[in-house]
Amino acid sequence: MSEVAVIGAGPAGALAAGLLARAGLAVTLIDPRPEGFRIGEGLPPAARPLLQALGLLPLGGTLPGHGTLSAWGSDDLGVYDHIGGPYGPGWILDRARFDDGLRRWACEGGAVLRIARLVGAAPRGDEALELRLDDGTLLVPAFAIDASGRPAVLAHRLGATRTCIDALVATYIRCRPGVPGDRDTRVLVEAAAYGWWYTVRVPSGERVVALLRDHAPGSSSARAEFESQLRSTRFVAATLAAHAYQPLEAPRGADARTGRLSHVFGDRWLAVGDAAFSVDPLSSQGLVDALLTADAAAKAVVAALDGDRGRLPAYGEHACRLYERYLEHRSATYARERRWPDAPFWQRRHGPP
């Protein structure tokens, strides 16, 4: 019998699975075959102590993340460099490679990766859970971790609900340079009346360009509208023009809402990473929170399976503190942009969360 099933092999699930396997538990890590390109490429310097402690440094195939250029609260571009910070530079990741590396690390530690999707879950008596996979398998683990990202597929099936405080969506493209020589590895952020943009050069040499705005039901997210708004940016458009970047594909969308589960643990389960709570990409905090919650969760699960169930509420409080701290940071960051007091996007962010 698998003692622990981990649903989702993104960064949070892979880290939790690797730690639990190394603690001597039988772990099954479940994920449908992962997609190729993934958005979410900036890993801030604050991840360094944990990655160091886990022996995961150096990270291969990355660019150094030296900081941010930001047109936020002002028409001028501010420079925020990591050089003065305690941990040195962060990283710009190839997300597919980073996620694959963590998954490999989990399997090297003894976790068994199963290519499947969770489609059903229910308690089985007081001692176990029943998990149904889309390949027809029934697993009966003593404990399960929901690491399925924002959908939180296990937690929802076990009765938790998700509350979001905004309707943020990302629309993004990848672009390839027509003229070589772009060496900038800083993230460029530019606010607009209707939302905000970022662009960053990723290890493949391409640039990711993303627009974050609130989803308006019924509105079109047509390519023409995205491209015309992109052309009207000052700094992002100039950065792309300087190296003749051309889009590789039509714009894609991603859920970027801030939200959390009603409860992040139950008798035989807990949630980690985006499944527990999700943050605005502006914070660049999603990956660090995913790794921190996975690390804390692995310790709580080992203790709970050893009879110390008090570690589960302590984990819940830890996740709650991380989320509350993020909410304060979110409010303070949006409060610094006051150029469009009548614009609904900014008005929605200037009141209490």
Binding flag, residue 9, ligand FAD (CB under 6 A): yes
Among the residue ranges 32-40, 83-91, 176-184, 237-245, the one whose residues contact ligand FAD (CB under 6 A): 32-40
State the DSSP string of 128-147: EEEEEETTS-EE--SEEEE-
Which tokens in the block code for residue 139? Answer: 């697993």
> CA-CA distance, 102 to 272, in Å (whole number)?
15
Among the residue ranges 213-221, 243-251, 271-279, 345-353, the one whose residues contact ligand FAD (CB under 6 A): 271-279
Among 18, 195, 273, 316, binds ligand FAD (CB under 6 A): 273
> CA-CA distance, 211 to 251, in Å (whole number)?
10
Choice between 11 and 89, CB closer to ligand FAD: 11
> CA-CA distance, 58 to 51, in Å (whole number)?
9
Q: Which of the residues 239 through 258 are near ligand FAD (CB under 6 A)?
A: 254, 256
The runs of H, that is alpha helices, within 166-215 are none
Choice between 207 and 351, CB closer to ligand FAD: 207
- Which residues does residue 141 pair with via DSSP β-bridges, in sequence order? none
Binding flag, residue 34, ligand FAD (CB under 6 A): yes
Closest CA to 318 of 343, 340, 291, 296: 296
The position carrying tokens 């979410």 is 40
Binding flag, residue 160, ligand FAD (CB under 6 A): no
The runs of H, that is alpha helices, within 117-233 are 153-157, 223-231
Which tokens in the block code for residue 180? Answer: 């070589």
The runs of H, that is alpha helices, within the chain are 11-22, 48-53, 95-108, 153-157, 223-231, 235-242, 273-276, 286-305, 311-335, 344-350
> CA-CA distance, 335 to 323, in Å (whole number)?
18
Among 131, 142, 145, 170, binds ligand FAD (CB under 6 A): 170
Which tokens in the block code for residue 21? Answer: 């396997």
Minimum CB distance to ligand FAD, residue 102 (Å): 9
Q: Which of the residues 287 through 316 are near ligand FAD (CB under 6 A)?
A: 287-288, 290
SS3 category, 246: strand
Q: Which of the residues 105 through 144 are near ligand FAD (CB under 6 A)?
A: 117-118
Minimum CB distance to ligand FAD, residue 282 (Å): 9
Binding flag, residue 30, ligand FAD (CB under 6 A): yes
> CA-CA distance, 241 to 261, in Å (whole number)?
42
Binding map of ligand FAD across residues 55-84, x = CB under 6 A, - = no contact: ------------------------------
Binding flag, residue 189, ligand FAD (CB under 6 A): no
**Contact assessment for residue 235 and residue 190, using Cβ atoms and an 8 Å cutoff:** yes
Choice between 118 and 305, CB closer to ligand FAD: 118
Q: Which of the residues 36 through 55 are near ligand FAD (CB under 6 A)?
A: 39-43
- Which residues does residue 71 pair with via DSSP β-bridges, in sequence order? 190
Among 148, 185, 199, 229, binds ligand FAD (CB under 6 A): 148
Choice between 49 and 351, CB closer to ligand FAD: 49
Binding flag, residue 18, ligand FAD (CB under 6 A): no
Choice between 157 and 268, CB closer to ligand FAD: 157
Which residues of the chain form contacts with ligand FAD (CB under 6 A)? 7-13, 30-32, 34, 39-43, 117-118, 147-149, 151, 153, 170, 210, 254, 256, 273-275, 281, 284-288, 290
